[in-house]
Amino acid sequence: MIEAMLAVAAGLCRHVLCWSSVGTRQRPGLYPPAAGGRVHGEAQWQEPFGAVSPANWVALAASQYLTRYGVGREALCWVAVASRRHARRNPDALYADPLDADAYFAGRTISTPFGIFDCDVPCDAAYAVVVSAADTVADLRRPAVRVDAVGTRLTEVQSWDQGTLTHQLNVFGPAAHLWSRSGVSREDVDLANLYDGFTFNVLSWIEALGFCGPGEAGDFVSSGTRIGPDGDLPVNPHGGQLSSGRSNGYGQLYEAVVQLRGDAGPRQVAGAQVAVVTCGGGIPANCMLLTGERRRSTRRRSGVQR
C-alpha cells in the first residue's frame, strides 16, 4: 500500500490496485528447520519453549504491560466486548452474538493473559483497494477518500534483535511520524480502525496515537463505551479482526473507506469525515489518516483525552 502511494506520488503511474487475501488453511510451520534439522535465528529462542505463535509473543508484552502499570485483564476485556458490540451492526461479521464481561472471563486460556476472545478470528477473505492520483477525482465513480498523512518511521530495536516489552513493538514511531506530517489533530478524528490481531494491539495503538498517556488505555476503554458504537472514539466499527474476521489489517482500511463515504449502513458513524487506520505491531507497522471529501475544518471531541 505504501509503495503504491509512493509510485503514484512520483508520477510513475496513475492507479494502483492493492489487494490481500487470507485463508484458514494451516501452514506446515512458521520456522521450517534448516538443513540438518536444526532451527536457527530468532526461532532457536522460541520453538524449544513452545512459543511458536504470535499469541505467545504478543502475550509476553501484554503481561509485562499489565504488571508494569497495575492494569487488570478488564482492559483487554473491554476491547473485546466493544468489538462484539460493533459487530452486531455488521451483517458480514463472523461473530455477532452478544459478549459480556462474564463470557469473556469464562473463555478458555490461550496464552496468559490472553483468552480465546483476545485473539482474532481466522477466516477466508480478500480485500482490494485502488490508489489513484489526486487529480483523477473528477473521473471516479465513487466519492474520493484522501490520504492526509502516513506514518512509517521505525524508532525501536526490532524484536529479532533485542526488542522491548514495555508496549507492542513499532507503534510509537509511526504514530509520532503521522502527527508530524498532518494538519489534522486528534480531536478531529471521528473513528479509529486499529489493528487488532489481539486486544493488546488496540491498547498499544490508543496510547501511541496519543488518545491517552502510557498506562492509561485501561481507563480509556473502561466499560467499552467510549470505543463502542456511538462512543467518542468508535474503534473498528465493523467489529475488527476480533469479531468480523482476520484480514491482516486490510479490513480496517476497507472499513475506513466505507465509513468516510457514508456507505456503512447500520454501523455508520454519524458525520464521519476523518479516520485513523493502523496496521501491524510486533513487526514493522504503519498508520495513516484518511479524510472524506467534505471534512469539517474544526471539530473537537470532548471525550478524547490528549
Q: What is the pLDDT of residues 253-276, one digit of tens each?
A: 999 999 999 999 999 999 999 999
pLDDT level of residue 297 (50, 70, 90 thresholds):
very low
Q: Rounded to the nearest 5°, which phi and psi values hold at 198?
A: -145, 155
Task: Say which residue the cell 500500500 belongs to.
Answer: 1
Cβ–Cβ under 8 Å, residues 186 and 306: yes
Do residues 221 and 230 lie in contact, with contact meaning Cβ atoms separated by under 8 Å? no
Q: What is the pLDDT of residues 127-155, one digit of tens each?
A: 999 999 999 988 888 889 999 999 999 88
pLDDT confidence of residue 298: 39
CATH 3.40.47.10 assigned to domain 2-25+53-291? The reply is: yes
Q: Nearest CA to 194 among 223, 217, 214? A: 217
Return the domain boundaries, the chain: 2-25+53-291
Task: Identify the residue with better confidence: 284 or 4.
Answer: 4
Cα radius of gyration rounded to whole Å, the chain: 19
- What is the spatial distance between Cα 278 and Cα 191, in angstroms, rounded to a whole number? 12
Q: State the average pLDDT over residues 272-300.
A: 79
Residues present in the chain in total: 306
305 has pLDDT over 90: no
Assign 302 a pLDDT band (cuts: 50, 70, 90). very low
Strand 191-193 relative to strand 114-115: parallel, antiparallel, unpaired? unpaired
Cβ-proximal residues to 44 (8 Å cutoff; 6+ apart), any chain: none
What pLDDT, on a 0 to 100 scale, did the predictor assign at position 129? Answer: 92
C-alpha span between 180 and 289 (Å, rounded):
12
Placement of cell 458480514 in the chain: 92
- C-alpha span between 264 and 231 (Å, rounded): 16
How many percent of the chain have pLDDT more than 70? 88
Average pLDDT, integer, range 200-221: 97
Strand partners, 277: 193, 288
Report the pLDDT value the prediction gives residue 24, as an integer from 0 to 100.
80
Please state whether beta strands 125-132 and 274-279 pair in parallel, antiparallel, or not at all (unpaired): unpaired
Question: Taken in order 263, 269, 275, 278, is the CA torsion positive or negative?
Answer: negative
Which of 86-100, 119-133, 161-175 shows the lowest per-residue confidence on average (mean pLDDT)? 161-175
4-18, 40-54, 77-91 — which one is most confidently predicted on average?
A: 77-91
Task: Tell which residue, 259, 292, 288, 304, has the closest CA to residue 6.
Answer: 288
The answer to whether 85 and 228 have CB atoms below 8 angstroms apart is yes
pLDDT of amino acid 84: 98
The whole-number average pLDDT for the span 284-299 is 74
Query: pLDDT of 27-77, one tens digit each?
Result: 555 556 666 677 777 777 777 888 778 898 899 899 999 999 999 999 999
| 173 in Cβ contact with 154 (< 8 Å) | yes
